[in-house]
A and B are shown apart, each in its own frame.
Chain A
Amino acid sequence: MRYSVFSVLGQALRGQRDWKPHWRDVAPRTEYDVVIVGGGGHGLATAYYLAKEHGITNVAVLEKSHVGSGNVGRNTTIVRSNYGLAGNIPFYEHAMKLWEGLEADINYNAMVSQRGVLNLFHSDAQRDAYARRGNAMRMAGVDGELLDREGVRAMVPFIDFDNARFPVKGGLLQRRGGTVRHDAVAWGYARAADERGVDIVQNCAVTGIRRENGRVTGVETSRGFIRAGKVGISVAGSSSLLAGMVDMRLPIESHVLQAFVSEGVKPLIDCVMTFGAGHFYVSQSDKGGLVFGGDIDGYNSYAQRGNLATIEDVMEGGMALWPGLGRLRLLRHWGGIMDMSMDGSPIIDRTDIGGLYLNAGWCYGGFKATPAAGFCFAHTIARDEPHPVSAAYRLDRFATGHLIDEKGMGAQPNLH
């Protein structure tokens, strides 16, 4: 059933009786043209664009738990394309454009809200670094503005301008950035892919990848062997484990990143704001909770939980920037597992094994990339060549030196 105000009103009169599952929960068939491992936002988007853009509909998405159980439902919902390096900007801008048309495309309200992303700076050097980034964005046709202190004050008058340890000097603003209701992205893509014939198989864990003569032939799963000509791995957080099934080692470590939400309150802040002198960023959900986050905990982890020292660090940043937060209460904090790559940028590429493709290394930036990651990964799988906007995300760039290191932190994943 198409979703619209009319169908909603109609169902209101009928006791909501006629709604159908958003997607079919199917058992896997024995063979597909393409198997996507991972039923998160990226995997589902990949399946959707395989069907929509390339007409490949004999596709299964295999999810070991339930749809959207990974990072697509654990992030802080921010979308933006305010990157500074040539390898990144066109890709994230492609994602932004897809976000802007998402609801019309998939007939699902994912609440794409372009409320603006404001990165504060606190020193001349930081201002110049943001100017460098903003200028690069503008050269690529992406919106970006450098605000001075008064420009920032007009947007967020409640932050500490007078007694700050690191006074706010201005900010880089991308007005088209904002937030998206994260779960709805997974569900919306699942529904849209399902409508185009993709099989979404939940509770189906991949336990092995079968190869013959240097080509994949299918995947072993908890629900039996599934034959496939092409296999795409899209399991951020667990990429190394999947790669390990074919004896590949990746330039990736798994790290835990915590996220936080406060109790719901009436509207306080309209934009997404990041602190430039500490680990803290914040936005407010439509439900009223402040959603905030900070740095990763810093050590390899597959446990979806963090530690207290990081929580304190984030809250200290929050109080330093916005002293009015003190009496608001933290409602819940949780952890997700990030694929932290060696240069802080992702990988969308073929592998040395024929028919095996990799979408990995998203660090903590995977959510905002979802539509473009799916779009480009589908392109790579369908055409066996990179999409132009994701051409820099090669697996061999560490060997050739074509690093995409926005922060300049080097080959240490926990610093990105």
Chain B
Amino acid sequence: MTTITLRRAETDAAPAAADRAAPFRTAAGGLVDRRRPLDFTFDGRAYTGLQGDTLASALLANGVRLVGRSFKYHRPRGILSAGSEEPNALVELRSGARREPNTRATVAELYQGLDAQSQNRWPSLALDALSVNALLSPVFAAGFYYKTFMWPASFWEKLYEPMIRRAAGLGRAAAEPDPDHYDKVHAHCDVLVIGGGPAGLAAALAAGRSGARVILVDEDFSLGGRLIAERREVGGRSGADWAATAEAELRGLPEVTVLTRTTLFGVYDHGAYGAVERVSDHLAVPAAHAPRQRLWRITARRAVLAAGAIERPHVFGGNDRPGVMLAGAVRTYLNRYGVLPGRRVAIFTSGDDGWRTLADVVAAGGEVAAVIDTRPSVPPALRREAEAAGARVIAGGYVAGTRGHLALKAVDVVDAYGSRETVACDCLAMANGWNPVVHLDSHLSRRPVWSEEIHAFVPGALPCGMEAAGAAAGRFGLADCLETGAKAGAGAASECGFTAAPEPAPATDPESHAHSPLWRVPKPRGKAFVDFQNDVAASDVELAHREGFRAVEHLKRYTTLGMATDQGKTSNLAGLSIMAELTGRAIPSVGTTVFRPPFTPVAIGAFAGHHRGKEFRATRHVPSHAWCEEQGAVFVETGLWLRPAYFPRAGERDWLETVNREVNTVRANVGICDVTTLGKIDIQGRDALAFIERVCANPFGTLPVGKARYAVLLREDGLVMDDGTIARLADTHYVMTASTANAAKVMQHLEFCRQWLWPEHDVQIVSVSEQWAQYAVAGPRARDTLRGVIDPGLDIGNAAFPFLACAEVTVGGGIPARLFRISFSGELAYELAVPAAYGDAAWRALMAAGAAHGITPYGSEALSVMRIEKGHAAGAEINGQTTARDLGLGGMLAKKKDYVGRLMKERPAMTDPERPILAGFRPVDRSARLRAGAHFLAVGASPSLAADEGYMTSVAFSPSLGHWIGIGLIRRGTERHGERVRAYDPVRGGDVEVEICSPVFVDPKEEKLRV
């Protein structure tokens, strides 16, 4: 073994005074900056760490072993790992609105002022009242809750469940809105390299040098992977140096993007990847205008999976005692962070790899008490090394149990002959082999395959375009990592059309990965944990087996193995191997659970990005919006639109008074309403009419140029899709309107009809909803008002421009406009369309022109009142459940043409005379208020579904009539005018007797319309 130490230039300086207080910090070495101490607190106690520490390494440096309590038994837990697989060391990071529960201390970068709390304990970490659960653990075996808490039934919600819920959960979420913001970015590349260890760096270099666009992502804040955690040699330099040089070269390549602190969390179809960059999590608060995190949606032509491997714990009694760690993690703390995880370390290994720990502990100034190797024979060279270090070697033995309470004091060892002894130590390093990270290649439903060679699952058939390299492919040797990485990177770039050839891999120091895993020790002393976080012990796997939960998914769900925040990264294989042993099967025939995204948990805020609060969805403003705001209009959300609902004036007591005044003014004088939100579709071409005939249920053959007509569209199932108007501006030129809510749907439907159903038609359609501002001008003085706005030349007198006339006109001295004499209010009314850019000006001009005639602006409320007074169907009636006949439109449907919905509307249930049909309703007691959503019942009938005769769809207070009115759907409604029924509304305590009447309440003879 060479005597490399990891260091950076600046670390050669004398250690900062403040850090001398950290009792477990090594004298020198590591990638921490000893000149930059950082103060932090854990559970309110102040400590000091160094720049480059994680919270975990800083805690260990300060001798803090106990960092958490387990989920079920509240057992004391310490730090197991040095990476994102950590199951134990979960803390609440930060406080107040920024509190982040379940943060893994092993990946939380230390910053000045970091504030962390342990979680799931009360009153304190050392004295946790619920640790009594550990005494009850014989009761709390896997699945016990399915067998009890059943009596009495009402106690579940009242007593048992609240108790369980309070005890469960881990940390406490922030109760307040997240004060930080999140960003999203789309990126495209030729080669995506996942992981910045030796294989990933080699891959990125090989691909990057070819000129390919490369994105390299790594979850860590420093690149290098195991190169910065082990004392290794690459090309005659330290591995850390080689990694730093590689990183510098990559950052210098113009087509290469290096993203650290970035976790590639999911693989999706067709080369789409999700990654999250922790932009500001290493700071106390994000810099001004900087996001906390950024979601990367990466589209890559090829990907190299170089995500490394995760070390496996041993399953033995008390293996969760604080101080028991993964051997690789012990080395990471020693070499990268300059921290001794213990002063007297015992090593429990099943392979040569664990032995690396010995030299590292010694080099860092620690002592190795013993090396317990489960293999009966240990290579002589290793044995000599142990002897030189003064460490005992116990070959063919195992650790059966641990001693100590809140921290490890000793391990009970059984040797090859079965004799037991106790070895004092304050840290146990476990090495039971490594599992390639097969999570990401499983996201597209690929199953990993078992490798007998390395006793682990390795990637099976990889997703299209992905190749695995290095440890992620089960090639653990450093030379293999460099070689397979370079090959995969060059291969990926070549497949993207770049000229790339891997350069020969640099030489590395020798190593051995010989190992023979021990899946669990034969006779554990105490609980032997498989899943640390969820407190699943080997005995729980046995119980699952006994109770028939032997399928891998059953095992997982019955015991909760692998369902904690680490998703079984350190536990899945242990669980499988025990089940394999119990069922007498080989591990691969037990199966694998399917790994699901995300690879590590991702903040919900990152997925949402800026889409929150008012920016959740885009806001569309009508062209008159600025004017409406000036006037103090009250707005209402209508889909994405923000529409003026009404325009209160000083002295008006409530919305109803305002709306009444607006309605009355329209009916008496004139009003103006912004109806731009309607969909507007331009239809042109030789076959425009033929096309319209197919999509509309009523006939259009007789519509002359210069006229508009009401249009009904059905869905192919015969129910009404939408209604609107179609105006014929020229021989082969029509303009159609669709309702605000259905504008996009209708456009899509028309394109479907045009492109797919009747492609032979010579017709083009385009949405011009955005291009035209459109205003309804309604009331007896509407014509007078319009005359003040449209350019002279067009006679809009009643004779020349009657009801349903339309024309292209100009306004404001030559600005093109369109005028339609159509009415939703039942008054003499027009809709004037002007190019959207002139919308604001036209609105102001109309208001000015109408001033002399008493004009009022009116909003969506008054619009709705007037359409209900006229019995026009709108969204509440055209709700996807009604036929044209239900809405009283049956008579207008065409007989002699095919159109969408023609046949299906004739099905028996659609033409059943008992179907509820549109009618009007007025309260018998005229002072009573009506409510939409009330159901109709015969007077005297007791409420039941059988007695249900229909329901009220829309209601309004009619200022014209002086009482509430409603329209609704009721059985045989047209035949029952004058009959009384109940409008029954129990959810609002309403029960009003109403009289069925015509749905047209105002001007039934349409006299006002045609003057």
A and B touch in the complex (CB under 8 A): yes
Which residues of A come within 8 Å of B, CB atoms? 3-5, 7-9, 11-13, 15-17, 19-25, 65-69, 73, 86, 89-90, 100-101, 103-104, 107-115, 122-123, 125, 127-136, 138-140, 144-146, 158, 160, 163-167, 172, 181, 183-184, 187-188, 202, 262-268, 277-278, 284, 286-288, 303-305, 307-308, 311-312, 314-320, 323-334, 397, 399-403, 405, 407-411
CB distance from A314 to the nearest CB of B (A): 8
Return A184 CB to nearest CB of chain B, in Å.
5
Q: How far apart sit A11 and B615, CA to CA, in the bound complex (Å)?
A: 56
Q: Show 13 residue pairs from A and B whose CB-CB distance is below 8 angstroms, ordered by the A residue.
A: A23-B548, A115-B157, A132-B932, A135-B933, A139-B943, A139-B945, A144-B987, A165-B616, A166-B637, A265-B172, A267-B165, A408-B881, A410-B715
B812 in contact (CB, < 8 A): no
A179 to nearest B CB, angstroms? Answer: 10
Tell me if B875 and A125 are in contact (CB < 8 A).
yes
The residue of chain B having its C-beta at the shortest distance from the C-beta of A332 within the complex is B596
Are B598 and A332 in contact (CB-based, < 8 A)? yes
Q: Residue on B with the closest CB to A115?
A: B157
Residue of B156, B608, B951 with most chain A CB atoms under a 10 A cut-off: B608
Closest chain A residue to B948, Cβ basis: A139
Closest chain B residue to A90, Cβ basis: B945
Q: Tell me whether A265 and B547 are in contact (CB under 8 A).
A: no
B-side contacts of A131, CB under 8 Å: 931-934, 985, 987-988
- Taking the closest CB of chain A, its distance from the CB of B224, in whole angstroms, is 26
A325-B268 contact given A135-B934, A288-B168, CB 8 Å threshold: no
Query: Of B23-31, B46-54, B307-315, B549-557, which stretch is located at the interface?
Result: B549-557
Nearest CB in chain A to that of B716: its residue: A411
- Is there an interface contact between A109 and B150, defined as CB atoms closer than 8 Å? yes
CA distance A384 to B938 in the complex (A): 36
Contact of A405 among B138, B443, B615, B881 (CB under 8 A): B881
> Which B residues, 969 to 1011, have Cβ-Cβ distances below 8 Å to chain A?
984-988
Which residues of chain B in 148-174 are interfacial with respect to chain A, using CB atoms and an 8 Å cutoff? 148-151, 153, 156-157, 161, 164-166, 168-174
* Any A CB within 8 A of the CB of B501: no
A110, B161: Cα distance in complex, Å: 12
A145 touches B169 (CB 8 A): no
B546 contacts A by Cβ under 8 Å: yes
The closest CB in chain A to the CB of B173 belongs to A265
Docked-complex contact B934 and A139, CB < 8 angstroms: no
* Closest Cβ–Cβ distance, residue B158 to chain A (whole Å): 11
Determine if A264 and B168 form an interchain contact, defined as CB atoms under 8 angstroms apart. Answer: yes
A262 to B171 Cα, complex, angstroms: 12
Name the 9 nearest CB pairs between A and B, nearest first. A408-B880, A21-B548, A326-B178, A131-B933, A288-B169, A326-B605, A401-B907, A401-B909, A329-B601
* Chain A residues near B445 (CB-CB < 8 A): 303-305
* A132 contact from B149, B173, B951, Cβ within 8 A: B951
On chain B, the residues within 8 Å of A111 by CB distance are 145, 156, 161
Which B residues are CB-close (under 8 A) to A303?
445
A66 nearest CB across to chain B (Å): 4
Q: Which residues of chain A have C-beta atoms less than 8 A from B147's C-beta?
A: 3-4, 7-8, 108-109
**Complex CA–CA separation, A228 to B466 (angstroms):** 47
CB-contact partner of B146 in A109, A113, A128, A401, under 8 A? A109
Known A-B contacts A138-B986, A183-B557, A401-B909; A265 and B102 likewise in contact (beta carbons under 8 Å):
yes
Which of these, A86, A324, A410, contacts B174 with CB under 8 Å?
A324
Q: Which residues of B contact A23 (CB under 8 A)?
A: 548
- The answer to whether A410 and B944 touch across the interface, beta carbons within 8 angstroms, is no
Q: Which residues of B contact A12 (CB under 8 A)?
A: 138-139, 141
Tell me the bound Cα distance from A370 to B169 in angstroms: 28
Closest-CB distance, A78 to chain B (whole angstroms): 15
> Could you tell me if A327 and B607 are in contact, using CB atoms closer than 8 angstroms?
no
Structural contact, B547 and A139, CB atoms closer than 8 A: no
Cross-chain contact of A135 among B268, B636, B909, B951 (Cβ < 8 A): B951
Neighbouring A residues of B612 by C-beta, 8 Å: 316, 319-320, 323, 326
Say yes or no: A333 contacts B596, CB within 8 Å.
yes
Chain A CB within 8 A of B272 CB:
yes
Most buried by B among A131, A325, A402, A408: A131
Which residues of chain A are near B932, meaning CB under 8 Å?
128, 131-132
Please pick, from B100, B148, B164, B619, the residue contacting A165 in the complex, using a CB distance under 8 A: B619
Nearest residue (CB) in A for B911 is A401
Contact A135 B935 (CB under 8 A): yes
Expressed in whole angstroms, the Cα–Cα distance for A390 and B932 within the complex equals 29
Counting CB contacts under 8 A, is B464 at the interface?
A: no
Contacts known (A4-B147, A125-B875, A286-B164); A333 close to B597, Cβ less than 8 A: yes
Contact B616 A410 (CB under 8 A): no
Q: Which residue of B has the minimal Cβ distance to A342?
A: B717
Q: Would B616 and A308 count as touching, CB distance under 8 A?
A: no
Q: Would you call A140 and B944 a contact (CB within 8 A)?
A: yes
Q: How far is the CA of A140 from the CA of B986 in the complex (A)?
A: 12
In the docked arrangement, what's the CA distance between A130 and B951, Å? 12
- Do B613 and A320 touch (CB < 8 A)? yes
* Chain B 919-949 per-residue mask, 1 if CB under 8 angstroms from chain A, else 0: 0000000000001111100000001110110
CA distance A405 to B617 in the complex (A): 28
A114 to B161, CA, bound (A): 11
Write out, one digit per residue, whether chain B residues 540-582 have a CB within 8 A of any chain A CB (1) or not (0).
0001001111110110011010001101000000000000000
Contact status A400-B138, CB under 8 Å: no
> Is B654's beta carbon under 8 Å from chain A?
no
Distance, CA A20 to CA B148, complexed state (A): 16
Asked if A135 contacts B157 (CB within 8 A), the reply is: no
CB neighbours (8 Å) of A15 from chain B are 138
Verify A328–B945 contact, CB threshold 8 A: no
Most buried by A among B71, B297, B614, B947: B614
- B101 contacts A by Cβ under 8 Å: yes
CB distance from A340 to the nearest CB of B (A): 15
Shortest beta-carbon distance, B922 to chain A, in Å? 18
Residues of chain A lying within 8 A (CB to CB) of residue B615: 165
The yes or no answer to B680 lying at the interface (CB within 8 A) is no
Q: How far is the CA of A15 from the CA of B139 in the complex (A)?
A: 9
Query: Is B180's beta carbon under 8 Å from chain A?
Result: yes
Contact, CB under 8 Å: B614 / A165: yes
Q: A22-B547, A187-B146 are in contact. Are A327 and B603 (CB under 8 A)?
A: yes
Residues of the B chain whose Cβ atoms lie less than 8 Å from the Cβ of A263: 101-102, 170, 565, 601
- For A157, the closest partner residue in chain B by CB is B175
Which residues from chain B contact A66 at a C-beta distance below 8 Å? 551, 553-554
B173 and A328 contacting across the interface, CB-CB below 8 Å: yes
- Closest partner residue, chain B, to A178 (CB atom): B157
- Check B113 for interface membership: any CB of A closer than 8 A: no
Give the residue of A5, A288, A312 whose beta carbon is less than 8 angstroms from that of B608: A312
A308-B272 contact given A125-B875, A132-B933, CB 8 Å threshold: yes
Cβ of A312 and Cβ of B547 under 8 Å apart?
no
Cβ-defined partner of A324 (8 Å) among B146, B176, B551: B176
Q: When the two chains form their complex, are residues B909 and A330 in contact, meaning their CB atoms are under 8 A apart?
A: no
**Given known contacts A15-B138, A25-B548, A326-B605, A139 and B170 CB-to-CB distance under 8 angstroms:** no
Q: Are A312 and B609 in contact (CB under 8 A)?
A: yes
A311 to B604 Cα, complex, angstroms: 10
Chain A nearest CB, measured from B427 CB (Å): 28
Residues of B within 8 A of A166 (CB): 616-617, 637
Q: Measured between alpha carbons, how far is A323 from B904 in the docked complex, in Å?
A: 46
Which residue of A68, A135, A304 has the most chain B CB atoms within 10 A of its CB atom?
A: A135
Say yes or no: A308-B945 contact (C-beta < 8 A), given A103-B150, A327-B178: no
In the bound complex, do residue A326 and residue B637 qualify as a contact, i.e. CB atoms below 8 Å apart?
A: no
Q: Which residue of B lies closest to A21 (CB)?
A: B548
Given A12-B138, A86-B945, A135-B984: A400 in contact with B157 (beta carbons within 8 A): no
Q: Which residue of A lies closest to B883 (CB)?
A: A401
Nearest Cβ distance between residue B259 and chain A, in whole angstroms? 17
Could you say which residues of chain B place their CB within 8 Å of the CB of A114? 157
Chain A residues near B907: list those with CB within 8 A: 399-401
Residue B269 interfacial (CB < 8 Å): yes
Distance from B951 Cβ to chain A, minimum over Cβ atoms (Å): 5
Please give the distance in Å from B827's CB to the nearest CB on chain A: 24
Of the residues A65, A135, A265, A267, contact of B986 by C-beta under 8 Å: A135
